[in-house]
Amino acid sequence: MSVNSTAGDPVQSAGTVQTVLVRNVMPEANSFWVLYGQHTKPTYLEDAGNGQQAQRDAALQYIKQWRVCLDIGSNIGQWTRPLSKKFESVVCFEPNPNFRECFSKNIQEKNVLLWPYGLSDKEHKAKQDFNSTVLQQEDGDIDCRTLDSFGLNNVDFVKIDVDGFEVPLLQGARETLTRNTPVINIEMKRTKRPGTVGRIEKILKDLGYNFRERVKSDEVWTKS
């Protein structure tokens, strides 16, 4: 796997994530272990949907090289699996241990690395409820780091879905985004979080990014 990083060995550092082989064959494209809604423990669904395929297809049409992809807020791996079939390497970040339990059952691809961190503008602790995708900036058991601290290179695509934590994430990712100039697919809930969206836009424009298109609540931004 050709991920160039100064952060050490991702597999060893993500040692709290256990890979559980639950099937003898590769799972079907839309079958996943899930943990949301009425599901209070990991539950296997034969058809859990296509994992926002419309948003993904819109973003991937802007990709020119297929080396390293970052899946930030990887949740249970519904973006990760199809991305792993297109990119040489997929580097994932998921701070919630309960989602990581599902992820480890869903993702068997050898070109995927999973880091058990939230991404922020500095190292700190945060809190996250059982099956919540929202990071709370208060003392808890979630470890947060900056994306820049991983020293990742050859990054061609970044998917960001962090439910309101986008601003600190981007503040801690300036060097990485400047060095790599990846295509970005980012959730932008303009009605629900207009203030946050405005701050995200300012950061992206300061970094030289331009808006390309919007599919549902996801937007694609590129430097070209």
Element (H, E) at 201: helix 194-206
Task: Tell me what pLDDT residue 67 has.
Answer: 98
Q: Phi and psi dihedrals of 197, rounded to 5?
A: -60, -40
- Which pLDDT tens digit goes with each residue over 24-66? 344 568 999 998 878 888 999 998 888 889 999 999 999 999 9
pLDDT lower than 50: segments of the chain: 6, 9, 11-26
Q: Which two tokens stand for residue 139?
A: 């003392």
Q: Indicate the CATH number for domain 11-222.
A: 3.40.50.150
- Whether the CB-CB separation of 141 and 125 falls below 8 Å is answered with yes
User: DSSP readout, 74-90?
Assistant: -TTSTTHHHHHTTSSEE
Coil/strand/helix, residue 146: coil
Task: Tell me what pLDDT residue 103 has.
Answer: 96
CB atoms closer than 10 angstroms to residue 86: 13
Task: Tell me what pLDDT residue 7 has.
Answer: 56
Element (H, E) at 115: strand 112-115
Q: Which residues touch 13 (CB under 8 Å, ≥6 apart)?
A: 7, 115
Task: Tell me what pLDDT residue 37 has.
Answer: 75
Helix, strand counts (H, E) of the chain? 7, 12
- Whether the CB-CB separation of 104 and 130 falls below 8 Å is answered with no
pTM score, two decimals?
A: 0.86
